[in-house]
Structure 1
Amino acid sequence: MYLQGAALGALVVAAALAAGLRGTVLAIVYPVAAVAAVVMGVVDLGVLLQGGQLAARLPIGLPTIGGFHLRLDPLSAFFGVVINGGVLAASLYGMGLDRAKDLTPRVEPLFPLFAAAMNLVLLADDAYAFLLSWELMSLASWALVVARHTSVENRRAGHLYLVMAAIGTTALIFAFGGLAGPAGGYAFDTIRAHAPAPMVAVLVLTAALIGCGSKGGLVPLHAWLPLAHPAAPSHVSALMSGVMTKVAIYGFVRITFDLLGPAAWWWALPPIVLGAITAVLGLLYAVFDRDLKRVLAYSTVENVGLIFVALGLALAFRANNQNAAAAVAMAAALLHVLNHSWFKSLLFLGAGAVLHATGRRDLDGLGGLIHRMPRTAVFFLIGALAISALPPLNGFVSEWLLFQSVLAAPAMPQITLNFASPAIGAMLALAAALAAACFVRVYGIAFLGRPRSAEAAHAHEVSLPQQIAMGGLALLCILGGLFGSVIVLGLAPVLTTLVGSGLPNAGTGPTPFSLIAFDAARSIYDAPIIALFVAIASLTTLVVVHRLSERRTRRGPAWDCGFPDPSAATQYTASSFAQPLRRVYGAVAFSARETVVMPPPGDTRPARFSVTLVDFVWTTLYVMPGRAVLRLSERLNALQFLSIRRYLVLMFAALVILLSIATVMT
């Protein structure tokens, strides 16, 4: 705990120094943050593998609970590994940024503060420390979102983020208030000792789902995420999307599986249903969008949905005392938390490299980058394959475990869960297919083909530190896929703490790297063997093709449907690539309409094609209430211009009403 405190202190000192300094000396922030992340990550990993805990108490905070309680247990240690891995990658990437072009003095002081706040949330062992750290994390990330405040888009994103953060924190205040009870025991040990009444527990679960779901991006509380994550600097976007959303997952797990007490089976329905809807809608948003960073942000919404489905299944299995199945579902959730932090951070850093090299985020202005940014293209491809859940990369391992837990759901005694499990499985399968289509589209439009703009044609590779950060994450995506069984074994202390059991047959497969969900007869995954098979099949195909084909290499123009045109505009665009999916799903989910204006023969005016999408979630839950509040405020604005006599009448009427209420109540 002393090493953790020293590393956190170093981050705070770096933030304070950066706030008072200017110029190139600000570059010390990223080396300090990287070293602090390594130190805290090593401590977290040690606590996770040993299954122990560290505790401390600071003489600050609420006097009624005896100070500011801190504790590092296997659950917080696992999420600490996730967070500090992301901080390390973002710090390495930050070392290679062009200070004149990519950064502002508003970014460096807040970067270490943001990292420290996320770690403090994990260490908090009482409600006051948790909420204080949570708010510090929200404010630091909000300030990073609006760091380039001259942009109207950034200011709008920051405003919406601040509103949603306030709603989430308010919900968490109610959640901890319900957990503390009338006695006001805000220390987590006190909360664990006194389980709330059933009705209070339901209200706490609802508040936790709102508070943590709003920060994580759960539909319909996701509206801020596709605006705020792209608005932040790219290495901060990687932290917000790949790491900060995991702090929200941690908050939900801590409250639901640790503090709330024994669960009822139907508590699992809201996270399962909302998670499945979030997974599908997140990817539909991503498939139809043309902004590279916004596509990645919507993809985060989808992955958060997958994690909530797994957590809901774990909750249902635990309520039915099916500990082995609960361990599989919880392992899927935690492993996807780790895997998503790797491949989503990699993809956001890759998007930052594209933005740095071209100055563009719109997919239709990119193309051909594989020739000008070959290393970035390879790293981005690995991330795209991983997030598409293709074996043998890491995204497949966690989603395979998730599907194993879905297949086990019909064994639960409740008819509702039996009926819902096939539908949930179908929605998750649809989400997996949409993810593959989404990232084929992203990679094909951005990196393949011909440049669609002058900026893309003159793109260049990014600096060495940025390549190292992306390369390290790409390597983790590969190793995490090959050795997922080893990672699951390391999760045993967390699984035992949360659901009372580890994976039933972990480590008993035919090879040391076999991952077994339930038993080897029906659920086994051996990534190295699959990787070897893929390598042999690919090499064999390559050799056969070269043997049967001509030795001579010929070059010719690309097929252009018989209409030779040197313009890059004749290529597929992001919109045209998404058109089949838009016609199938967009009409139902977004009332998608395609309008074609075709001039008559002989008319030299250009034809026009436009697409209209309606976001019902945004319109119904945000735009309409916002307009209602605005109209109400305009009407109440007349109260500012009353005479003194009318103000006295209003005060007298209010006094009469209050006295009447008091009389009735007594």
Structure 2
Amino acid sequence: MSPATWLRFLPIKLGGPAHRRPGRSVFGDRCFRLRSRFETPLLGARFSRLGHNPLGIVLSAIAMFLVAAAAGVALRRLSHAPLLVYGVTGAVCSLLVLWAVLRLAGGAGVEQAVLPLGLPWMAAHLRVDALSAVFLLVVNLAGATACLFGWGYDRAHAAHGHGGDQGPVLPVFPLFLAGMNLVPVADDAFVFLVSWEFMSLASWLLVLATHREEETPRAARLYLIMASFGTVCLLLVFGLLAGAHGDYSFDAIRAQPPAPWAAGLAVVLVMVGAGSKAGLVPLHVWLPLAHPAAPSHVSALMSGVMTKIAVYAMIRVLFDLVGEPAWWWGGLLLAAGALTAVMGVLYALMQDDLKRLLAYSTVENIGAIVIALGLALVFKAGHTPVIAALALSAALLHVINHSLFKSLLFYGAGAVLSATGTRDLNRLGGLIHAMPTTAFLVLVGCTAIAALPPLNGFVGEWLLFQAILNAPALPEWELKIGIAVVGAALALSTALAGACFVRLFGTAFLGRPRSPEAAGAHDVGSAMRLGMTVPAVLCVLIGVLPTPLLRLFEPAIRLMVEAGPFDDRAYQPWFWLAPTSAIGNSYNGLVMLVVIAGLGIVLVAGIHRWASARVRRSIPWGCGFTDPDPAALSQYSASSFAQPIRRAFGTTVFAARDLVEMPEPGDTRPARLTVSWRDPAWEWVFVPVVRSVERLADWLNGLQFLTIRRYLMLMFFALVTLLAIVAVVQR
């Protein structure tokens, strides 16, 4: 397959007409002309100054987030404080979204600045490039909808008392967004790590906002430990990349790539450090505890956005700072991503807690993104930049797709929690009648995350499989076989994700209510519904018309993959995706939408035309019981729906067991079903580590009882060891 055929899809268009600005696509030229029309004599000068000072815009936005946080502290007792804080924060996020779109459409050059801040011998280096703009777009798009939903969530909490304590959330929420906006613009190790810790500590405080709940203190403690562990790993990464010269700016690291052994060790450490924040298995154990513990709009940002900041850290290090990649780097990512995708969806299928199910689903989606990054690395190492760009396009598209539909689903979970006071799937049911708008929007999110056409989740998965099918272009036979196995694992996880979200929607919204809380539910307010509507509409738009968004990613893809000067004469129209051939492997979202809508109309019309017009009413079969309890009317619960999959997969992987207590005939005790399972990550990774730390602590405890002579001997041996290490390093 020649590279020219790939260019029918790929958003890489260097060359082209002479009047086009280098590095800007046709779509970018259109946006640039549209931007020029808004540059009126009154607004032109201001708009131009903002456009030519991108770092100033981002830093001003971060300053506004800090002002909003201060207002949240000072005005927290006022009734209108949530409207003010969420309003200012949402407006700043919306402006940053507009700025990021215009900057990416205009070519997204590199802008750098050095501020006299930080350590005495080190200034703060900041940089905005195409990759930074992509992730700033992801962060602030979700942040704008979270502000809208959070304001409505706060009002619902004040009215009904459901959803947790919102008081501590108000001042910390803008700080969390400020930290996530500062990480992508960091251009040295010091600013990056400070921003990373700032983001982690702000999210930790948001988790503690629901400290009155039983599981929250444990979740917050585990999250803080894992966040500190990840930061230590990233600190070691930057130490390896800086090397002996000790310059921690990213420009200096790019200018002096590390030795192969240091680069390989840095790759492993960044997978562990950033992977622990993203939720890679087996480092995911904190995520299903911490994400559900936070308020729902905070959970949406943690699962939908904060995990993407960890993905940004992986891309920045692996594609930008460590130099020319080796093929085994991508192999590690592929193996970790495949394991994470399959285990994440199996974890999700076994959950009855609505928010915990969504948190485990984030683990599965992070696995898919890491698989795409691994493919991009192996194709880049194999000097096949066109296919590498395809895989990276799939990764970035899945990044923004997951941020949209996962935010939408967490908002839906928050709406259900606000309306019913419970998130146990076995106590819900029938909510489609009481909450029709919420039910429809959650259905859009479930369809998108299950990768069904014509929504955005299908496009991301489809592009990823297109990259997988090109594994024969690689020279290493290990990768050809391994990528086939990874593709099978990804297909399995996609199928199980469909079953998982059929289970979620069916048990929560269909059937009859299983509890008084579900029976008395009502739909949420307009602000919460609008906050869910925006990501739902974007899920449909990106699924139907994905090409404009992919072209928007062009500068970031070209910057990371370093693809050469390709011709764009074969570029396809804006409504058509054809990564291999305009006739063969191609996707048209508009055609798919029209076909699905047409077939649906024909099906409904046929049922109404030829089905029986007689209405027959009878008592539904209740398994031999006359009690009208919905649980006795052959209605699937969340546990019963997942039982076949739990028996097929969970008995081996999770040691899942179903214990049935059936009383003897005549015994009036109720029958009981108890489901037990274990997390292998806890038993195989964390429990041995905890035991080792405890043994080490017991051994070190004896040091406080040594004599002075032994203390002096210990200091002597420590000094000799350090001198030996310095001598080896200097040699």
After TM superposition, the score normalised by the length of structure 1 is 0.95
SS in structure 1 opposite 2:587? strand
- The answer for the alignment partner of 2:126 in structure 1 is 70
Q: Which residue of 1 aligns with 2:118?
A: 61
Deviation readout 1:460-510 (Å, 9 max, x if unpaired): 111111100101111010001001122112111111111134998989577
TM-superposed deviation, 1:529: 0.3
Q: Secondary structure of 2:125's match? A: strand
1:228-271 deviations in whole A, cap 9, x for unaligned? 00000100000000011110000100111011111111111111
The Cα shift of 1:562 comes to 5.8
User: 2:428·2:508 contact (CA, 8 Å) conserved in 1?
Assistant: yes
Q: Following TM superposition, by how much is the alpha carbon of 1:521 offset from its aligned partner in structure 2, in angstroms?
A: 3.7
The equivalent residue for 1:136 is: 198
Contact 1:47 1:73 in 2 (8 A): no
CA distance in 2, matches of 1:269, 1:74: 26
Q: How big is the shift at 1:560?
A: 3.7
Runs of 4+ in 1 over 6 A off after TM superposition: 502-507, 662-666
Q: What is the 5 A alignment of 1:103-502?
A: 103-501=165-563
1:221 shift after superposition? 0.8
Deviation of 1:631 after TM superposition, in Å, equals 4.6
- Change in Cα spacing, 1:510 to 1:53, as seen in structure 2 (3 Å) is closer
Equivalent pair of 1:86/1:239 in contact (CA under 8 Å) = yes
Residue in 1 that maps onto 2:70: 16
Map Cα deviations across residues 557-587 of structure 1 (whole Å, 9 max, x no partner).
Answer: 4444565430122221111100110111011
**CA distances 1:383-429 after superposition (whole Å, capped 9, x unpaired):** 00000000000000000000011111122100110111211111001
Task: Quote the residue 1:81 is aligned against.
Answer: 137
Q: Is 2:661–2:671's contact at 8 Å kept on the other side of the alignment?
A: yes
Q: SS where residue 64 of structure 2 aligns?
A: helix
Aligned partners of 1:346 and 1:632: how far apart in 2? 45
Distance (whole Å) between structure 2 residues aligned to residue 236 and residue 503 of structure 1: 43
* Matching residue's letter, 1:464: S
| Alignment partner of 2:81 out of 26, 51, 59 | 26
Tell whether the 8 Å contact from 1:373 to 1:459 is kept in structure 2 after alignment: yes
The alignment partner of 2:524 has SS state of coil
CA contact (8 A) 1:506 1:515 kept: no
Do 1:505 and 1:519's aligned partners in 2 also have CA atoms closer than 8 Å?
no
Letter in 2 for 1:69: H
Deviating more after overlay: 390-399 vs 499-508: 499-508
Partner Cα distance (1:502, 1:343) in 2: 34
Aligned counterparts of 2:712 and 2:177: Cα–Cα separation in 1: 53
SS at match of 1:596: strand
CA contact (8 A) 2:101 2:552 kept: no
Q: Measure the CA separation in 2 of the matches of 1:504 and 1:612.
A: 56
Which string of whole-angstrom CA distances, capped at 9 and with x for unpartnered residues, describes residues 143-165 of structure 1? 10011222331110000000000
Does residue 48 (structure 1) correspond to residue 104 (structure 2)? The answer is yes
- Number of residue pairs matched by the alignment: 661
State whether structure 2 residue 711 is matched by structure 1 residue 654: no
Letter in 2 for 1:263: P
Is 1:495–1:502's contact at 8 Å kept on the other side of the alignment?
Answer: no
Structure number with greater CO (CA < 8 Å, separation at least 6) is 2
Question: Residues 281 and 21 (structure 1 numbering): CA distance in 2 closer, same or farther, change over 3 Å?
Answer: same
- What amino acid maps onto 1:473 in structure 2? P
Residue type of the alignment partner of 2:116: P
Question: Cα 1:505–1:606, aligned 2, differ >3 Å: closer, same or farther?
Answer: farther
| Equivalences for residues 637-652 of structure 1 within 5 A | 637=701, 642=705, 646-652=706-712
* 8 A Cα contact 2:279 2:366, kept in partner: yes
Question: In structure 1, what is the equivalent of residue 58 of structure 2?
Answer: 4
State the TM-score, normalized to the length of structure 2. 0.87
* Counterpart selection for 1:579 from 643, 646, 665: 643
Over 3 Å counting, the alpha-carbon distance change for 1:322 and 1:662 in structure 2 is closer
Which string of whole-angstrom CA distances, capped at 9 and with x for unpartnered residues, describes residues 333-386 of structure 1?
000001000000000000000011111011111111111111000000000000
SS in 2 for 1:116: helix
Higher mean C-alpha displacement, 503-512 vs 450-459 = 503-512
- 1:287 counterpart letter in structure 2: L
**Structure 2 Cα separation of the partners of residues 631 and 165 of structure 1:** 23
Identity of aligned residues (%): 49
Q: Give the gaps of 5 or more residues in structure 2.
A: 1-53
Question: Would the aligned equivalents of 1:41 and 1:85 in 2 still touch at CA under 8 Å?
Answer: yes
Distance 1:177 1:638, change over 3 A: closer
Of 667, 671, 675, 1:603 maps to 667
On the 8 A contact 2:203/2:302 being kept in 1, the answer is yes
Secondary structure at the residue paired with 2:209? coil
Structure-2 separation of matches of 1:504 and 1:302: 35
Contact 1:48/1:75 (8 A) holds in 2? no
